Amino acid sequence: MKSRPSPSKKLSILSLLSRYRGPYFIGALVLLVSNALSFLIPWLTKHAVDDLTKGVAGSIGHYAAAIIVTAIVQALLRVVSRGFIFGAGRNVEMDVRQVVFEHLQTCDANFFQRHPSGELVSLITNDSNVVRLFFGMGILNLINGSLLYTIGSVLIFTLNPELALWAVLPYLGMILVLRQVTPRFHEFNRVLQEQMGFLTEFMQENINGQEVLRSFGSQEHQNQRFGKHNSNLFSALMRLTRVRGVLFTTTSALAGLGTLILLWVGGRQVIDGVISLGDFVAFSGYLGLLVTPTLMFGFVISIWYRGTASLERIRNMMAEEKMVKEPMDSEAAPKAGDLTIRNLTFAYPHVAGATPTPVLKSISLTVPKGKLTAVVGPIGSGKSTLSQMFFNFYPISPETVFVNGRDLSQISTHQLRTGITLAPQEPFLFSKSIAENIAFGFKGAEEDPAFNRDAALMRAFEDAELRKSHDPEGLSLKTVVGEKGVLVSGGQRQRIGLARLFASTSPFLILDEPFSSLDIETAENIYNRLVTLLPHKTILVITHRMSLAKKATNIVVMDRGEVVGQGDHQTLLETTPTYRDLIMLETYAE
């Protein structure tokens, strides 16, 4: 399999411009015609004034009509040019968001620990919007200004070289200003986008954590923290505004100075008979057309540096090296079989310079097909970490984890997660109906023409004990659960997560504390339904419910990151003190 180009390379300026070179080329061509017509108006005005000066008034009506038609056509062409270039900018924005979102789907767990969700949301929204301005308004003004300066310079130097030199002399001062101002633009824009990301991240965390903030009375403290973030953003904006102000004021002053020089030098040339009044009017018109791009120059510079800073932030994020490497070649999704771990030691990735502490130590175990395997142990013994080893969330050593005999490091992430389904202790629910949340478990099964979606949803709904006569809420498949499931109870959220698992066609099922929020009767009913899947599934259940764990054919006991026992209930009672302690603790609790 050939290596794919880095996603960050897809977002280079040249790559994005090349992708939409057609609309940009047509837009530039239309702008060229439009600007040529704009310079035609001073030329027509010149001839009209010269005729008036000579006392020939008969042609004035024709010139006036020509100017009106030219202005109308020019306005229409400007609308067309903006449609092409702004449309390309919108397409670039859409592409950037799509590429970033698709990249996020491939990132490992460590990536999301380094980048808070608020920062990533800011990249997809705020920074992508700035990129759109860069490839839309920025490119339009860059092309338009370049054409106006090129055509205008040729015309004024052709019309009167001496007067042209005097008129453009003030613009040389702009070079000195730019050398002082532009280096600050990039840095100030980068800081601005970072501060917007910090503020977005803070707001998202506080909105999601409102229940905790209210319960601890932390509103005033959070208001102060928000004020600090808001003040930092305001300061970044003001620094950039001051630089923009200096640039805009300077360009305005230079444009005005050029007009003043034109009136002084050009007026004297008209009086001395060096040039005609028509030439002076035309020259003034040509120079006037250069005023707008001069005034827009500061705006273009600002958009340019904001766009490049935002694009740089996005590309830097996407260029980060992934800790979990994709194999060069991979077969189809793993089929039913055993899950095996051989001498696995694992530590969560830490920041540079820190010494990682092993969470799992020399783990070796087998989860056989057709037998329900339970993993038990004290809190903090590494059970949940063990469940994550089968999903490639973190980098693990080769030849340590096997899925139906295949080395996990040689299976693509997509194929691996297609074949294995996880039911976590706290399932994430989307702000949709229960049916739509359960349907995430189908994993492509809907592509089968024989698949009956409604029947599969109802079967999973019932298997997870969501249809219970004593449920006061009266849940149904159409019930909307709210953001993160806030409209249903903790037990109902857990059962919806279990319904996803029952809806899954994956041959491997892993359940991490799936019964912690359920009453014992409901937990036993769901456990018994899991047992009915065993002939065709490989099932691993992590639980503190010893009354359920002891029913498993294969029980793994963990303590302090190590496997301290494995076997059936009776064997472990006789050989493993940790297991006996867990049984006794539950007995005393009851």
Confidence of residue 31 (pLDDT cuts 50, 70, 90): very high
pLDDT score, position 565: 92
CA 371/CA 394 separation, integer angstroms? 27
Residue (of 358, 356, 346) closest to 408 by Cα position:
346
CA 281/CA 559 separation, integer angstroms? 92
- Residue extent(s) of CATH 3.40.50.300 domains in the chain: 339-346+362-589
pLDDT score, position 113: 78
pLDDT score, position 254: 76
pLDDT score, position 354: 57
Residue 324 DSSP label: S
Res. 336: pLDDT tops 90: no
Looking at residues 102-117, what average pLDDT do you find?
81
Confidence of residue 519 (pLDDT cuts 50, 70, 90): confident
Res. 140: pLDDT tops 70: yes
Q: Is the dihedral of CA 120, 124, 126, 132 positive or negative?
A: positive
Percent of residues, the chain, with pLDDT higher than 70: 91
Phi, psi of 402, rounded to the nearest 5 degrees: -130, 140
Question: Which CATH superfamily includes the segment(s) 339-346+362-589?
Answer: P-loop containing nucleotide triphosphate hydrolases (3.40.50.300)
Give 223-234 pLDDT, tens digit per residue. Answer: 888 888 888 888
CA 582/CA 576 separation, integer angstroms? 10
Res. 328: pLDDT tops 70: no
- The first and second tokens of residue 362, run together, are 């020399």
Average pLDDT, the chain: 83
Entry pTM: 0.74
Q: What would the CATH number be for the domain defined by 7-318?
A: 1.20.1560.10
pLDDT score, position 351: 52
Rounded CA Rg of the chain: 35
Looking at residues 196-213, what average pLDDT do you find?
77
Write the DSSP string, 513-568.
STTTTS-HHHHHHHHHHHHHTGGG-EEEEE-S-HHHHTTSSEEEEEETTEEEEEE-
Least confident of 244-253, 277-286, 399-408, 540-549: 244-253
pLDDT score, position 73: 93
pLDDT score, position 363: 92
- Residue extent(s) of CATH 1.20.1560.10 domains in the chain: 7-318
Res. 386: pLDDT tops 50: yes
* Residue in the structure block whose two tokens are 């954590």: 209
Confidence of residue 470 (pLDDT cuts 50, 70, 90): very low
Looking at residues 73-89, what average pLDDT do you find?
93
CA distances from 485 to 160, 209, 430 (A): 75, 14, 7
Confidence of residue 2 (pLDDT cuts 50, 70, 90): very low
CA 387/CA 397 separation, integer angstroms? 16
Phi, psi of 296, rounded to the nearest 5 degrees: -80, -5
Confidence of residue 469 (pLDDT cuts 50, 70, 90): very low
Most confident of 192-196, 270-274, 390-394, 570-574: 570-574
CA 305/CA 176 separation, integer angstroms? 18
Looking at residues 234-256, what average pLDDT do you find?
79
Confidence of residue 175 (pLDDT cuts 50, 70, 90): low
pLDDT score, position 1: 41
Type and span of the H or E element at 420: strand 420-423
CA 4/CA 435 separation, integer angstroms? 37
| 88 contacts 20 by C-beta, under 8 angstroms | yes
Residue 409 DSSP label: G
Looking at residues 471-492, what average pLDDT do you find?
79
Least confident of 131-140, 190-199, 288-297, 347-356: 347-356
CA 577/CA 575 separation, integer angstroms? 7
CA 548/CA 322 separation, integer angstroms? 39
* Residue in the structure block whose two tokens are 């249809």: 467
pLDDT score, position 468: 64
CA 459/CA 456 separation, integer angstroms? 5
Residue (of 231, 156, 240, 152) closest to 195 by Cα position:
231
With a CB cutoff of 8 Å and minimum separation 6, the contacts of 227 are none
Res. 3: pLDDT tops 60: no
Most confident of 40-49, 132-141, 158-167, 283-292: 132-141
Residue (of 579, 166, 110, 154) closest to 346 by Cα position:
110
With a CB cutoff of 8 Å and minimum separation 6, the contacts of 113 are 349
Looking at residues 351-358, what average pLDDT do you find?
65
With a CB cutoff of 8 Å and minimum separation 6, the contacts of 472 are none
Write the DSSP string, 37-61.
HHHHHHHHHHHHHHHHHTT--TTHH
CA distances from 590 to 347, 515, 546 (A): 36, 16, 12
List, in sequence order, the alpha helices (H) in 209-296. 210-215, 219-261, 267-271, 277-295
| 515 contacts 545 by C-beta, under 8 angstroms | yes
Looking at residues 517-523, what average pLDDT do you find?
87
Long-range contact pairs involving 344-352 (C-beta distance under 8 Å, separation at least 24): 344/389, 344/396, 344/397, 344/400, 344/401, 345/397, 346/385, 346/389, 346/394, 346/396, 348/385, 348/394, 349/110, 349/113, 349/323, 349/394, 349/395
